[in-house]
Amino acid sequence: MSIVRLKIDGKEITSEKNTTILQAATNAGIKIPTLCYHERLNPIGSCRLCVVEIAGYDEPVTACNTPVLEGIEVVTNSDSLYRMRQESLKLLLVHHPLDCPICDKAGECTLQDLVFEYGIQIENYKAPEKPVEAVYATPLIKYWPDRCVMCLRCVTACREIKAAHALDVAKTGGTANLVFHPDRCVSCGECMQLCPVGALTENVSRMKSRSFIVNKVPTTCTYCGCGCQMELHVLNNQVVNVTGKNDIGVNHGSLCVKGRFGYEFIASDQRLTKPLVKRNGKFEEAGWDEALNLVAKRFSQIKNENGPDAIGGFASARCTNEDNFIFQKFMRAVIGTNNVDHCARL
Amino acid sequence: MKDVLKSKVILITGTNTTANHPIIANYIHEAVMKNGAKLIVVDPRRIKLVDICHLWLRPKVGTNVAWLNGLMNVIINENLQDQEYINQRTTGYEELKKTVSKYSPDHVADITGIPAKDLVAAARLYATEKPGSILYAMGITQHTSGVNNVKCIASLAMLCGNVGIEGGGVNPLRGQNNVQGSCDMGGLPNVFTGYQAVTDGTVRDKFAKAWKVSALPEKVGLTVTEMTALDGPIKALYIMGENPMLSEADIHHVAKKLSSLDFLVVQDLFLTETAKLADVVLPSACFAEKDGTFTNTERKVLRVRKALDAKGESIEDHQIISAISKKMGYEMDYPNSSSVMDEINRLTPSYGGITYDRIEKEGGLAWPCPTLDHPGTPILHIQRFTRGEGVFFPIEYQPSAELPDAEYPFVLTTGRVHAHYHTGTMTRKGNALNQICPEALAEINVEDAKALKVVDGEYVNIVSRRGSIRIKALVSEITDHGVVFVPFHFYESAVNNLTNCALDPVSKIPELKICAVKIVKAA
Ligand code: SF4
Ligand code: SF4
Ligand code: SF4
Ligand code: FES
């Protein structure tokens, strides 16, 4: 691996040859504003917020897709760069309704943050009568075309990470639009997870929340053996949203349709809420004490009459390690049998 | 899982990864689309990954040993094996060579339907690009020949020196979230935690002492399938969070057995088909309502955290068990789940250093991780070196237990669909996932559908020697001629009414993947 020397904002740094100016700057702790860039995707280069100047070049370049070169001197901040970024943002805002008050993304929106940071005042902006919602590739996601900044993260993610190709760009008369192929979409929500603004929002929870009032609890998905790391967004003892979490190197922030949208069962009114005891072929609600007394009595009886090996237990691939540990301990130490197995040896 | 990003060639078989392990599929996409790895898919179904693969082999269902031997035959004939690795690290090579010499590409083509030239191309690709990894799942294990299939896969990897290296290896993909963990925790009839054998006296003494009992049972216990055997000795069952009424092969006899028990306790979130047969049903808390750990398919122990108060009066599974235990005169006192983990650490060498504190600070830890200062072991097969030599097992192909005949001309195979999970107990309770995939669909090949005069969306009856189900047909190119695929998440058309419970003689996994059926258009 060959090493390249360069200067960024006067600071001498070294970087591996095949990195971009943005990566080199990030590694050196220098922040360059970005909107379309995402570390997991190949650079898209659509937003031009990451412009930087290189000494001796006529035009600024985009840092996210320009590779480092030996000896270059890069400037990430100047009056003219500042103005260019302001202009880029203003251009986006011409089409973008400032409906932050009703947007799911408010509070964790890259555009909102950038507009705030660059102190942009909107002079001639007219709010649309009613926010437009468009049909999207999956019924589980809403698309708000007015809010879309055409960064193309969603299109790129769908292609590079999901290989689903359910999103595309079509250019009609100078304006680019997203096109959807619902038949190819697997409803994974990767596009939504990576959308930097509120143009893609989840369409499952009836209760809406703001990112700054929910309690986000990091946990592990309950569905499959991938063990994806996720955050449950909790409001009033209800899960109102689920997002992928990118810290342990398991799932890199991705989730699938089950992990991301399959949380309704938690609050289902079909959940059992009380122990049930069958009398004359019918279930009746019972108190914990009553139900557990019955279980303990019958297990003891059968163990005495038929021996411990007449009792068997199914542990569960759906329960935690701790639950399973206690379960087999109970079967072995208390009942006295090794008849313990689970359905999913598969 | 991210290891495949380092592979140059990936062979996947018996796993519809896109549906069952979407995140691993993501990494495969990335490996292929961004890093240019070569992908070989061996699957009777035209699974989604076929879209981006370099080679797709379509064997007849149940012929895994034959094509695996065929690949090894070609590799050895063309002298593409890693001889140095074989000489230094393995035994049994000569026997393997003798057995696979019978599986010439033409012979294999007769058995599997894979054209000889494709088999040769796949063998060359796998043997010449290095490192190469193999991923497999239930399509491999759910056969009477399941254990043999797995041994063949291991041989193939060893033959090319693809063991214990980054981007190489053999990776079984586990189905449900915590299958790995429930096995690790001793949810098996023959072992305590960390696969410590119940037949080993020293192990039993260690556990007996820790648990303050005079002795622990030494006889290996019964498997799920044996416990649900009609003529078996079981009189009472305690079922925690499982729904064998949908997941087990041949549910008729499971239903009969469960109804004939003296006593059945089911502990679950919902009144499942299994719970309905119980004498007592105990409501348990779900993953969002408790603290604990899951162990994922790469043996990484990950935290589950309590985000909500439990629904109604439901409580955590381990607390319910402790309460029953107390009433039976055995004290179990765990103030929280981390105190349970403390006991697991003490009794389980491979989990010795995996504490909540460390997971909090360092993220998930992969076992073996014996001590507090051990970093964990992300790539397990390095162990093969420490344990000694890898052994080649020569395996002969044997046809599946039940093959199609004149009366039952179709092969039925089962599996999952993308939006649902196992028996659907959880995924089918909300609108979101049902909207995407509202009902079971039987995938039937276009040509077969024509012959049966069935069009897409029409109902058919699928009949086996054991039962019949009514189900909507999805006519497509996904399945091969003569093959019908039915997912098992749906109780209205529980496919396990049909399947065969012939068992693999070693693993006791039922042959869920293949049985013979006939299809008739429903009235
Ligand atoms: S949900 Fe997934 S598959 Fe569908 S468009 Fe978004 S990224 Fe693509
Ligand atoms: S929907 Fe979001 S991610 Fe996609 S182009 Fe628009 S702003 Fe970017
Ligand atoms: S989000 Fe999907 S892929 Fe990830 S663990 Fe959950 S079910 Fe598996
Ligand atoms: S971040 Fe570089 S162009 Fe958008």
Alpha carbon distance A219, A100 (integer Å): 29
Among A162, A248, A312, beta carbon nearest to B234: A312
pTM for the predicted model, two decimal places: 0.78
Residue B266 in tokens: 């089911």
Residues 6+ apart with CB under 8 A from A250: A226, A227, A228, A229, B1, B23, B296, B300, B302, B364
Q: Running along chain B, 523 residues long, what does each successive block of 10 average in pLDDT?
A: 80 72 82 84 82 85 84 88 83 84 87 87 86 75 60 84 76 71 87 88 91 90 84 89 68 80 91 87 92 88 91 91 93 91 91 89 85 78 48 76 73 62 52 60 80 79 77 78 71 54 47 68 72
Query: Are A237 and B309 within 8 A, CB to CB?
Result: yes
> What is the CATH architecture assignment of B179-366?
3-Layer(aba) Sandwich (3.40)
The Cα-based distances of B357 to B7, B172, B360 in angstroms read: 33, 29, 5
Query: Are B97 and B82 within 8 A, CB to CB?
Result: no
Angle between helices B93-100 and B64-77 (to 10 degrees): 110
Q: How far is the CA of B420 from the centre of ligand 3 (A)?
A: 11
State the DSSP H helix or E strand holding residue A13, giving kind and residue range, or none if neither.
strand A11-16
Determine whether the interchain pair B185/A321 forms a contact, defined as Cβ–Cβ distance below 8 Å: yes
Ligand nearest to the CA of A89: 4
Which of A193, A219, A223, A260 best tests ligand 3's pocket when mutated (most atoms within 8 Å of CB)? A223
Among B180, B234, B295, beta carbon nearest to A310: B234
Among B34, B301, B426, beta carbon nearest to A160: B34
For atom 2 of ligand 2, the residue with the nearest CA is A195
Residue A73 in tokens: 């001197």
Alpha carbon distance B384, B367 (integer Å): 15
Determine whether the interchain pair A204/B316 forms a contact, defined as Cβ–Cβ distance below 8 Å: no
Angle between helices B64-77 and B105-112 (to 10 degrees): 170
Alpha carbon distance B66, B100 (integer Å): 9
For residue range B132-171, list pLDDT tens digits in order. 888 887 655 554 455 677 788 888 888 888 877 777 777 7
User: With an 8 Å Cβ cutoff, is A291 touching chain B?
Assistant: yes
Check residue A215 and give its pLDDT. 85
Q: How far is the CA of B177 from the centre of ligand 3 (A)?
A: 8
Q: Domain B2-173 - what CATH class?
A: alpha beta
For ligand 4, whether the C-beta of A49 sits within 6 Å is: yes
For atom 4 of ligand 2, the residue with the nearest CA is A154
Residue B479 in tokens: 């399945």
> What are the helix (H) ranges across B295-452?
317-327, 337-347, 356-362, 383-387, 431-436, 446-452
Q: What is the CA radius of gyration of chain B?
A: 24
**CATH code for the domain of A234:** 2.20.25.90
Alpha carbon distance A343, B138 (integer Å): 13
For atom 6 of ligand 2, the residue with the nearest CA is A148
Window 136-165 of A: residues touching B by CB (8 A cutoff) are: 138-140, 159-163
For ligand 4, whether the C-beta of A48 sits within 6 Å is: yes
Q: What are phi and psi of A37, to 5 degrees?
A: -70, 135
Query: Are B353 and B371 within 8 A, CB to CB?
Result: yes
> Do A253 and A313 share a domain, yes or no?
no
- Domains in chain A, number: 3
User: With an 8 Å Cβ cutoff, is A338 touching chain B?
Assistant: yes
Nearest-Cα distance to chain B for A249, in Å, is 8
Residues 6+ apart with CB under 8 A from B293: A220, A320, A321, A322, B181, B301, B302, B303, B304, B337, B341, B354, B356, B359
Check residue B420 and give its pLDDT. 47
Q: Give residue A221's domain range.
A: 214-261
Determine whether the interchain pair A342/B224 forms a contact, defined as Cβ–Cβ distance below 8 Å: yes
Among A186, A222, A311, beta carbon nearest to B177: A222
Query: Are B148 and B395 within 8 A, CB to CB?
Result: yes
User: With an 8 Å Cβ cutoff, is A182 touching chain B?
Assistant: no
Of ligand 1's atoms, which has the minimum distance to the CA of residue A161?
7
Alpha carbon distance B227, A310 (integer Å): 9
Of ligand 4's atoms, which has the minimum distance to the CA of residue A45?
3
Determine whether the interchain pair B22/A139 forms a contact, defined as Cβ–Cβ distance below 8 Å: no
**ipTM here:** 0.84
Of ligand 4's atoms, which has the minimum distance to the CA of residue A51?
2
Determine whether the interchain pair B244/A274 forms a contact, defined as Cβ–Cβ distance below 8 Å: no
CATH number of the domain at B410-521, please? Answer: 2.40.40.20
* Overall average pLDDT of the A286-311 stretch: 92
Query: Are B230 and B261 within 8 A, CB to CB?
Result: no
* B179-366 and B410-521 have identical folds: no
Among B21, B279, B309, beta carbon nearest to A237: B309
Determine whether the interchain pair B288/A219 forms a contact, defined as Cβ–Cβ distance below 8 Å: yes
In total, the C-beta contacts within 8 angstroms joining chain A to chain B are: 475
Determine whether the interchain pair A329/B283 forms a contact, defined as Cβ–Cβ distance below 8 Å: no
Determine whether the interchain pair A319/B240 forms a contact, defined as Cβ–Cβ distance below 8 Å: yes
If you ran DSSP here, which 8-state letter would residue A104 be given?
T
Choosing from A47, A68, A91, the residue where a domain stops is A91
> Is residue A321 in some structural domain?
yes
Partners of B89 in the β-ladder: none
* Overall average pLDDT of the A300-316 stretch: 91
Nearest-Cα distance to chain A for B181, in Å, is 6
Burial pattern A190-224, b for ≥16 Cβ within 10 A else e, equals bbbbbbbbbbbbbbbbeeebeeeebeebbbbbbbb
Check residue B385 and give its pLDDT. 38
Nearest-Cα distance to chain B for A66, in Å, is 18
Window 58-77 of A: residues touching B by CB (8 A cutoff) are: none
Choosing from A67, A91, A115, the residue where a domain stops is A91
Nearest-Cα distance to chain A for B385, in Å, is 26
Amino acid at B323: A
Determine whether the interchain pair B327/A218 forms a contact, defined as Cβ–Cβ distance below 8 Å: no
Q: What is the largest CA-CA distance in chain A?
A: 93
> Is residue A75 in some structural domain?
yes
According to DSSP, the β-strands at B90-91 and B132-136 are: unpaired
CB atoms within 10 A of CB A29: 8
Q: How far is the CA of A151 from the centre of ligand 4 (A)?
A: 8
Nearest to B439 by CA among B462, B414, B457, B466: B457
Among A218, A221, A274, beta carbon nearest to B312: A274
Ligand nearest to the CA of A162: 1
Determine whether the interchain pair B429/A264 forms a contact, defined as Cβ–Cβ distance below 8 Å: yes
Ligand nearest to the CA of A23: 4
Determine whether the interchain pair A222/B436 forms a contact, defined as Cβ–Cβ distance below 8 Å: no
Of ligand 1's atoms, which has the minimum distance to the CA of residue A157?
7
For residue range A53-86, list pLDDT tens digits in order. 888 888 898 989 888 888 888 888 888 888 888 8
Half-sphere exposure of B179 (CA within 13 A, CB side): 18
Domain boundaries, chain B: 2-173, 179-366, 410-521
Q: Which region, left, alpha or beta, applies to residue B433 given φ > 0 means left and ψ of -120 to 50 means alpha?
A: alpha
Which protein residues are within 6 Å of ligand 3, measured from CB? Answer: A 221, 223-224, 226-228, 251, 255-256, 258-259; B 22-23
Nearest-Cα distance to chain B for A83, in Å, is 35
Q: Report how many helices (DSSP H) and strands (DSSP E) chain B contains, helices first.
A: 20, 19
Residue of chain A nearest B286, judged by CA positions = A266
Among A215, A219, A341, beta carbon nearest to B304: A219
Query: Are B38 and B161 within 8 A, CB to CB?
Result: no
Query: Which residues in B lie closer than 8 A to residue A272 (C-beta atoms)?
Result: 268-271, 275, 281, 283-284, 312, 314
Ligand nearest to the CA of A196: 2
